[in-house]
């Protein structure tokens, strides 16, 4: 079985529905579009006086964060609550694993709580896949970010932001700028853009912040902001992840800003109606000028709003996929 086929079979049930959401890699375009369409339908829930729908009533969503993230954690909490689920959030980084417990032992203890969905954030690449391979049946795993590997719900909320402001992906030029090497968001975005038919995906970064083999993602690499930003429709800036860096990858943050920071002057190189995006948290004066982050082309706060809808979509779709697989298994047992 190929790697892509293996990733797809782990995430999808026998009918092609979502059971786990671990990575965008290997998922078909039709499914990504379904996630976006479902999220679109949930956006109006946030505008209601009572922001609740009963889709996950009686279900328990457990946010298991081995790595801190206020934005991801709170939007998953809100998404689950708006679906009427019971929500439990565990900051495991300050509890069991810090006392020497293994990931496998932590997993077994969490299973005993009888949750229906685990949202897992972990500092090690592949942790979400490991958990999905070893959990008991009928338990859905959603990857809230793992190491440098993937952040699929962030990738999809970025796609929803682009689609709602730009429509079709088939005519767009999108530039992803900054710390590509350490960014799971960049990887998820590149995979999603390619799957959804974006013809021109650019990455702009110093050579020290580019991963080996970046071309396999179907992107064009630039080391010059002026050339890379020329006539793009969307600019996605990335955070410099100092906590993941080792050695002299950058001379200084000031030097990075001078060469790769998004300023009002540099933004003029893009199309006049180009979107400015950032997954947050923003380092003002390092990756982006405040006037740009707060300017009329910025959709950074929209990304947060759309993030709740995307996470509602993924939570509801994975639970639906698990329920459908459970029914298929029961039908097969009865026939035997």
Among 30-39, 47-56, 84-93, 174-183, the least confident range: 84-93
Q: Please provide the average confidence, as pLDDT, over all residues in the chain.
A: 89
What is the third-level CATH fold of 3-150+305-335? Rossmann fold (3.40.50)
- Residue 121's beta-bridge partner residues? 65
State pTM to two decimals: 0.91
- Is pLDDT at 8 greater than 80 in this prediction? no
Dihedral-angle region of residue 16 (phi above 0 means left; psi in -120 to 50 means alpha; beta otherwise): left
Q: Could you read off the pLDDT of 231-278 as tens digits, one per residue?
A: 999 999 999 876 544 444 566 788 889 999 999 999 999 999 999 999
Integer Cα distance of 160 and 173 in angstroms: 16
Q: Could you read off the pLDDT of 290-312 as tens digits, one per residue?
A: 999 999 999 999 999 999 999 99
- Is pLDDT at 132 greater than 70 in this prediction? yes
CATH match for 152-299 among 3.40.1710.10, 3.40.50.1370, 3.40.1390.10, 3.40.470.10: 3.40.50.1370
Length of the chain counted residue by residue: 336
Every domain range in the chain assigned CATH 3.40.50.1370:
3-150+305-335, 152-299
Q: Calculate what percentage of the chain has a pLDDT beyond 90.
A: 68
CB atoms within 10 A of CB 29: 13
- Is pLDDT at 96 greater than 70 in this prediction? no
Q: Residue 81: is it exposed, middle or buried by C-beta count within 10 angstroms (0-12/13-18/19+)?
A: middle
């Amino acid at each position: 079985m190929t790697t892509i086929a293996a990733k797809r079979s782990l995430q999808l049930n026998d009918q092609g529905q979502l059971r786990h959401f671990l990575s965008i890699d290997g998922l078909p375009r039709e499914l990504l579009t379904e996630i976006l369409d479902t999220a679109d339908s949930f956006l109006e829930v946030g505008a209601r006086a009572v922001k609740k729908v009963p889709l996950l009533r009686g279900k328990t969503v457990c946010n298991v964060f081995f790595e801190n993230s206020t934005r991801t954690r709170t939007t998953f909490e809100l998404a689950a609550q708006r679906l009427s689920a019971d929500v439990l959030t565990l900051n495991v980084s300050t509890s069991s694993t810090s006392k020497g417990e293994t990931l496998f032992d932590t997993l077994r203890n969490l299973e005993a709580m009888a949750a229906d969905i685990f949202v897992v954030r972990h500092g090690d690449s592949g942790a979400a896949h490991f958990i999905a391979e070893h959990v008991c049946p009928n338990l859905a795993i959603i990857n809230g970010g793992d190491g440098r590997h993937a952040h699929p719900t962030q990738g999809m909320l970025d796609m929803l932001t682009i689609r709602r402001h730009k429509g079709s992906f088939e005519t767009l030029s999108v530039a992803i700028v900054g710390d590509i090497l350490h960014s799971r968001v960049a990887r998820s975005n590149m995979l999603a853009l390619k799957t959804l038919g974006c013809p021109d995906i650019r990455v702009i970064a110093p050579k020290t912040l580019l991963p080996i083999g970046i071309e396999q993602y179907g992107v064009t690499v630039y080391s010059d902001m002026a050339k890379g930003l020329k006539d793009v429709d969307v600019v996605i800036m990335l955070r410099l992840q100092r906590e993941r860096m080792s050695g002299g990858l950058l001379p200084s943050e000031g030097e990075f800003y001078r060469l790769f920071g998004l300023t009002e002057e540099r933004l003029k190189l893009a199309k006049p109606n180009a979107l400015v995006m950032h997954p947050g948290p923003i380092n003002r004066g390092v990756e982006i000028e405040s006037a740009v982050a707060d300017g009329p082309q910025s959709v950074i706060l929209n990304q947060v709003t759309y993030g709740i809808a995307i996470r509602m979509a993924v939570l509801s779709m994975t639970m639906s996929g698990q329920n459908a697989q459970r029914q298929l298994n029961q039908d097969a047992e009865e026939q035997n």
